[in-house]
Structure 1
Amino acid sequence: MKYLYSKLHYLLVDNPTISQFQWRQGETFASSLGFLNIAFVSYLSLTFFLRRLSVPPIPSSILKPISAVHNIILLLISLTMVIGVTLSTISQMPNFKWTVCFPISQPTKGPVFFWAYIFYLSKFLEFIDTLLIILAGSNRRLSFLHVYHHAVVIFMCYQWVSKPQSMFPIGVATNASVHVLMYCYYFACAIGRQPKWKKAVTNCQIVQFVFGFLLSTVMIYYHFTGSGCSGIWQWCFNAVFNATLLAMFVDFHSNKNNYVIKDKRT
């Protein structure tokens, strides 16, 4: 067991590519604001265009295997991020306070920032969720919540790793954990075995937001009673965004019809 842990720790923390990672604005792939803005506009434009175009639905016999592969890939990436950022945080943090309050001078380098970067890149891969919904001809499943979440979350994740924003190690771990459960559900649906615990996925998403707000009170305490926490203004953007998502998820949760329609994505 110790040998396996050592190997896992090397692969996900001590590997030079990970341990020596440093975010360099404008140099690291996808690190420029231009790339971010183009991705945002392209996502919204293509989503609007393809939806208005009324593309004929692709037969489920073709689309479901593609969806299954997509979901299992994101499931495995999410699981790897949970383990990677957890081990990296334990390895890199000087004390517990660091996990919720980076010092103002915190450099954007080290294994924790590598996993924040991977988390940021994974949000672009999640754009395929929207494409699969459109190709399935399920415009009814293409909710405002779905598009709003996918479009804006890339800005939040960009700020996590580029500033850096305090609390993001816990944010990556909790959000990726929820995505493990969510993509497990979608994978099961894609292979024709729809679980009965879809509501549990929404519950976990809501709990994630509430937990984040509770933990934010600790960060704010550290910020105003000490020398300050890095990324406080970015946290404000994060808080507003998460508050709007929480409100929409609660509304989604209260509508029982959302749990009757087969494989209705949020």
Structure 2
Amino acid sequence: MEVPFFPTLFSSVRSLVVRQAFFPTLEEWLVNHPKIHGFSWNSGKTPGSSPRFLSLTVVSYISFTFFLSQVSRPSLARPLLRSISAIHNIFLATLSFIMALGCLVSIFSQVPNFRTLVCFPERTSPSGPLFFWGYIFYLSKIVEFMDTLLIILSNSMNRLSFLHVYHHSMVVIMSYVCVDSAQSSFSMVLVTNCAVHVVMYTYYLMCTLGVRPKWKKMVTDCQLLQFWASFLIMAMLVFYHFTGSGCSGILSWCFNAAFIVSLLFLFSDFHAKNYSPKLNPKYA
């Protein structure tokens, strides 16, 4: 059985993209480069791949965040803090764009059809271009811990919410689990997440440079749209899993499904409190 519409759409878009003159160049750099094409995730051997590393990283992040939020902190000069923030936002916006592009090119180059994109065959090995970009995505989530440090150093403690710390700590675990278990459809979630982060870090960069864009609400809207898209992707994964021979990483899918449900609830609550006309007169 096939999910209607999406397989035809994927096939049409894939055929159109691979015929473009620029595609072979992108494929050479983002798919066929030896470091990318030959990538293989080996738990405990690949840098940052051990459960101990993951545990220590997340516990350290939560501990340092709590500690630094409770003690008197060094005060950085505003120009220095602005420069660090600008570099951080430029780096993550650029990296997010590269990851999204690299994963998209890998999908069009390596994935033969929509069913395989959503449902990797059971016992799929986490190797090759798709999982290389998944690995970089996992490492990027550790780099994003810098978001929290910048909030603390700027003394903007009202921005250091439970949602912020929960999201940053749990998304690292989610990314690790996805790559380690070769979870099906992870590449699609990666592309949507990175696309949203390009928008988000561009917004943060403009704020850092003294420009206040009028599309702040759009950032949260994009995040909510991403979560709903993830639900659609996960629903199709379940459909293919039970109508075929099974999908890779179905157990990790259960963990990620619960995590995305919690994020949808928290971000929806944040959206309502900040943008509801009844609660925020600015949007009345």
Fold similarity call, TM over 0.5 = yes
Aligned to 1:190: 208
1:136 aligns with 2:175: no
Tell me the residue number matched to 1:98.
116
SS at structure 2 position matched to 1:46: helix
Q: Deviations over 1:204-247 (max 9, x none)?
A: 10011011112221111111111111111101110111111111
8 Å CA contact 2:103, 2:130 repeated in 1: yes
Counterpart of 1:74? 92
Contact 1:55 1:135 survives alignment (8 Å):
yes
What CA distance in whole angstroms lies between the structure 1 residues aligned with 2:50 and 2:27?
A: 30
Partner of 1:231: 249
Aligned to 1:62: 80
Moved over 6 A (4+): 257-260
CA distance in 1 between counterparts of 2:119 and 2:25 reads 30
Q: Tell me the residue number matched to 2:173.
A: 155
Contact 2:184 2:250 in 1 (8 A): yes
In 2: Cα distance, 1:76 partner to 1:254 partner: 30
Deviates more, 1:3-12 or 1:88-97: 3-12
Which AA in structure 2 matches 1:147? V
Q: How far, CA to CA, are the matches of 1:70 and 1:84 in structure 2?
A: 21
Of 121-130 and 58-67, more deviation after overlay is shown by 58-67
Deviation, 1:6, is: 2.6
- The one-character-per-residue Cα deviations of 1:67-112 (angstroms, maximum 9, x if unpaired) are 0000000000000001000000111113211111111121111100
Quick check: 1:179 aligned with 2:163?
A: no
Is the 1:59–1:136 Cα contact (8 Å) retained in structure 2?
Answer: no
Partners of 2:275 and 2:128 in 1: how far apart? 45
- Name 1:51's counterpart in structure 2: 69
Letter in 2 for 1:64: R
Q: Does 1:219 align with 2:237?
A: yes
Larger radius of gyration: 2
Q: TM-score, normalised by structure 1?
A: 0.94
**What TM-score, normalized to structure 2?**
0.88
1:60 is displaced (CA, Å) by 2.1
C-alpha displacement of 1:26: 0.7
| Count of residues in Structure 1 that have an aligned counterpart in Structure 2 | 260
Q: 8 Å contact 1:127–1:150 — kept in the other structure?
A: yes
Gapped regions of structure 2 (runs ≥ 5): 1-18
Q: Residue 240 of structure 2 contacts residue 246 of structure 2 at CA under 8 Å; is this kept in 1?
A: yes
- Could you tell me how far apart the structure 1 residues matched to 2:20 and 2:157 are? 50
Partner of 1:217, secondary structure, is helix
Identify which range, 97-106 or 33-42, moves more after superposition.
97-106
Shift of 1:25: 1.0
Q: CA deviation at 1:10?
A: 1.0
| Residue 252 of structure 1 pairs with residue 275 of structure 2 | no
Aligned to 2:6: none
Query: Residues 153, 183 of structure 1: CA spacing in aligned structure 2 closer, same or farther, 3 A cutoff?
Result: same
Residue 5 of structure 1 deviates from its aligned partner by 3.4
What's 1:86 paired with? 104
Give unpaired runs (5+ residues) of structure 1: 261-266
Q: 1:122-170: per-residue Cα shift (whole Å, max 9, x none)?
A: 0000000000000001111101000000011111000111111111010
